[in-house]
Structure 1
Amino acid sequence: MTTPHIALFDASVGPTPAERNFRRELDAQVTSFKVSESEFPEWPGADGSWAYDAAVISGSQTSVYDTEPWMETLEELVRDLHELGVPMLGVCWGHQFLAQALGGCVASMDRYELGYRSIERYDESPLFEDFPAEFVAFETHSDEVVRLPHGAVELAGNDRSCQAFSLGPTFGVQFHPEYDIETVRSVTEGKRSEGIDPERIDAVLADATPERHAETQTAARVFENFLTVVEAVDGQPPETVEVES
């Protein structure tokens, strides 16, 4: 397979570092679409062909259960792509969006999950190839997947929520493997306007040291592993696609 061509569905609202962060982490050709501004790629052809090898969905400041026209369009697109066996990876909001679009349920949490958190891997999925049983990643979310789509496998979690799932070549991760330390600090600082305890925010910022952030390098390997899945799926018709979990 030549260098994979990834469609990045940037669901973040307004100017954010989302596109920059994903381009840095994805060792692939990336074409970005600001879906929150109703910018979409062409739909797959009648023969099932699509201009891209896979799709990645970013985080967002919205909730997946908001009723926005662009979300309805994105839901229709990801359902079509899933039926065609196109590999997809959703991150944070994207994780929740894929779960909901494919039949799962997302709801508000009772307490914001924010900061560097330990995550337990449950399953020998290719997305977590060569991962330890536990790893550290940065979290920032107030919604969670409370029910997975039928047939989906929960791949990882912690004491707060489901942290990863798979459904064929479709994957979601609740944590942010794409964040650099600058994004961690700016996103955390931005939470002051959302009613989170200032002392809690200060504690997360104090924890955001280069040494602490270096612990998230394992989590970032999901991108490399996802591209390995993309290569394995390349050219196979949907009914023959097998992704072990």
Structure 2
Amino acid sequence: RAHPLYAGKAPVFDGFTSHFDDVESLPAGSIHLAGNNITPIQAAVVTHEGTAFWAVQYHPEYDLREVAALTRFRKDGLVETGYFADSAAAESFITELETLHADPLRKDIAWRLGIDHDVMDADIRTLEVKNWIENTLRQNSSGLIADA
């Protein structure tokens, strides 16, 4: 985790993913930053023509309310693909996400859903975004563009 994208981030953390497609391979010269057993490539640095692009496939910007809204939007597909037993189970999950978002002290719901501070604390959850912005500002103020 030496890359500046993860400065201050724990070596292991949870993040919300919302995709049915995955990055299968990286171009030559890329730096593989993060992955998990479901999606081996979750973050990478891709350099093209001297410019580095930091990419994450998960969504650090999503809070629980947004996850609930996206789950509601994709509910039928999530039931069809086996993520929920039925529509009622999906609705129960959505309700719990919305309740926990409104009342982050609901340890019962957080425990049941396996949601910890790395998802609940916006400063921790969005640290990659902050790190990217700060790195970009540093590069722009110095007139340099780093390759990683």
1:201 equivalent among 70, 87, 90: 90
Cα deviation, 1:169-225, whole Å, max 9, x if unaligned, reads 311111111112221111112222323333273575366334437532323111110
Q: 1:140 to 1:236 in 2, by over 3 A?
A: same
Partner in structure 1 of residue 11 of structure 2: 133
Partner in structure 1 of residue 146 of structure 2: 242
* Equivalence map 1:100-119=2 (5 Å): none
- Residue 164 in structure 1 maps to residue 70 in structure 2: no
What is the root-mean-square deviation in Å for CA atoms of aligned residues? 2.5
Counterpart Cα distance in 2 of 1:130 and 1:193:
38
Q: 1:189 to 1:213 in 2, by over 3 A?
A: farther
| Deviation (angstroms), 1:233 | 1.6
TM-score (norm 1): 0.43
% of aligned pairs identical? Answer: 22
Counterpart Cα distance in 2 of 1:225 and 1:186:
27
Partner in structure 2 of residue 175 of structure 1: 58
Q: Which runs of 5 or more residues in structure 1 are unaligned?
A: 1-122
Partner in structure 1 of residue 131 of structure 2: 225
Cα deviation, 1:11-39, whole Å, max 9, x if unaligned, reads xxxxxxxxxxxxxxxxxxxxxxxxxxxxx
Cα deviation, 1:52-103, whole Å, max 9, x if unaligned, reads xxxxxxxxxxxxxxxxxxxxxxxxxxxxxxxxxxxxxxxxxxxxxxxxxxxx
| Deviation (angstroms), 1:241 | 2.7
Q: 1:126 to 1:243 in 2, by over 3 A?
A: farther
- Residue 143 in structure 1 maps to residue 41 in structure 2: no
- Is the Cα contact below 8 Å between 1:233 and 1:241 reproduced in 2? yes
Q: Which has the higher helix share?
A: 2
Q: Which runs of 5 or more residues in structure 2 are unaligned?
A: 105-114
Counterpart Cα distance in 2 of 1:167 and 1:181:
29
The alignment covers a number of residue pairs equal to 120
Partner in structure 2 of residue 185 of structure 1: 68
Higher normalized contact order (CA 8 Å, seq sep 6+, divided by chain length): 2
Partner in structure 2 of residue 215 of structure 1: 118
- Is the Cα contact below 8 Å between 1:139 and 1:175 reproduced in 2? yes
Q: Which has the higher strand share?
A: 1
